[in-house]
Chain A
Amino acid sequence: MDERSTTLSRLKSSFDTRRAYISAKLGTLVPSQIRALRTKSDMPRQADLARASEMLQSRISVLETPGAANATLDTLSRIAAAFKVGVIVKFVPFSEMLAWENSFSQDQFDVIKIDQDAQFLAASAGPGSSMAMVSIPAESQGYLFIGLANRTTYREGFCNPMVPASIVTQPTGAASSFFQ
């Protein structure tokens, strides 16, 4: 059995392995998003973000350290509010989480602030809006991912800006290539 098969087998059978895997992705990508937004914002120093989010600078430093995934939802809300962006917490299949990781680029990651969010400022989401276009099959093994987000960054009708353009909806077919 090769290394990939072994890891897949453990992911399928072991709660601890799945938890470790998920924690690692979040532990890398959440700090990376915060760092990306901070360095592109008008508060490039950790101390500035700390002041805006009413936290200590040392806490911001920890939040930006890879692996520091124990941020609470309240902490993420504070960070998002300081950046004037939204934040999504959503359970997804492993394949979607992997696609998020593979497509994520700290260099390119940015989110429109509420002041420039014309779509949000102009209208609320109603029936038939892009928010309702994707449904996840019930049998999918959903797991959590967290992304700082803004609706105007959606592409091709997806409500998740972390999902790359290479993800497409299909009326039929396999839900995931993760386990192939």
Chain B
Amino acid sequence: MQNRIKVILSSPTYFWSFADYVEGRQNPIENWYSGELSEDARFQFDSLVKNTAKIENHLQWGGFKFLSGKPKKYSIWQLDFIADRRQYRVLGIFQPGRRAVLLEGCYHKGKIYTPQGALETACKRAKNLMEKRATTVGRKIDDTF
């Protein structure tokens, strides 16, 4: 008799939750995700978020670093990932309760960020959050994909 494998999908342990920056009715992260990313990049981003949420120490996150210059004022960090032969950057900040808020998605070649002004946009959004002129919405991590 041939054995078969039955997979019972158990929920992983997540140390972190991820959230999108929201301003008014606009969710620029979701717009970037669904409007700008290719299918390859969306799968890569989803897998990255799922894996990253399980790593307790953020300094051990793959592709993670705090930014210098003006973004340092707001403790803005970036997560790097590669898809479609592009170097993508997701810019974010931490909030209490191990919450990682995604402020801006972009890609990077040389010293050029696309969209232009991505760092400035992230700074502005971080400031808006600090001054409670913007909110966040949780980003679902899908264990079934």
Contact = CB atoms under 8 A, between A and B. Distances in A.
Contacts of B43: 20-21, 23-24
Interface residues of A, number: 52
Interface in A53-73: 64-68
Nearest to A100: B7
B68 interface: no
B6 A177 contact: yes
B76 to A, nearest CB: 19
A114 B82 CA distance: 33
Contact of B55 (A24, A107, A168): A107
B6 A106 contact: no
Contacts, number: 152
B26 interface: no
A125 interface: no
- Which size bracket describes the interface of B in this complex? 35 or more
Nearest to B87: A65
Contact of B4 (A7, A67, A107, A172): A172
B51 A104 contact: yes
A66 B7 CA distance: 26
A168 B143 CA distance: 19
A11 to B, nearest CB: 9
A24 B54 CA distance: 17
A31 B64 CA distance: 13
Given A65-B80, A68-B82, A105-B54, A167 B47 contact: no
Given A27-B82, A65-B81, A169 B7 contact: no
Most buried by A among B43, B63, B81: B43
Contacts of A137: 2, 4
Interface pairs A-B: 4 shortest CB-CB: A67-B82, A24-B43, A28-B47, A66-B81
Given A137-B2, A169-B4, 16 more contacts: A16-B39, A21-B145, A24-B43, A28-B44, A29-B47, A32-B62, A64-B63, A65-B80, A66-B80, A93-B7, A96-B7, A102-B9, A106-B60, A107-B55, A134-B5, A167-B7
22 contacts: A4-B142, A4-B145, A16-B39, A17-B39, A21-B43, A21-B145, A35-B60, A35-B62, A66-B44, A66-B82, A67-B48, A67-B83, A67-B88, A95-B7, A98-B9, A102-B10, A102-B11, A104-B51, A133-B3, A135-B2, A167-B5, A168-B6
